[in-house]
Amino acid sequence: MAPQTQDPTLASFYANLELPYGADVEAVREARRRLLRRYHPDLHSSDPEKKRTATRVAQGLNRAHDELVGRLARKQQ
């Protein structure tokens, strides 16, 4: 059996969430929650530069989550 080829876009989404390629929906959701607790912009409100960076990170986490959950849900149907 040939090894599974990885979609580079999906691989980057999994990497953003610090997950191995092919993780399930529950792992994606838990990773997003865990990382948002660490990088939420409100936690860095005293430093404007850190807040901007945290906002970009949080947006990337949310985008990765939304894309992966959407694709995994379509795949299960």
Dump pLDDT digits (tens) for 18-76: 999 999 999 999 999 999 999 999 998 899 999 999 999 999 999 999 999 999 888 87
**Per-residue pLDDT at 2:** 42
Domain 10-76: CATH superfamily is: DnaJ domain (1.10.287.110)
Distance separating alpha carbons of residues 15 and 19, to the nearest angstrom: 6
Distance CA 18, CA 4 (A): 19
Tell me the helix, strand and coil percentages in the chain, rounded to 5: 75, 0, 25
**pLDDT > 80? residue 77:** no
- CA 43/CA 15 separation, integer angstroms: 23
> Is residue 1's pLDDT more than 60?
no
The whole-model pTM stands at: 0.84
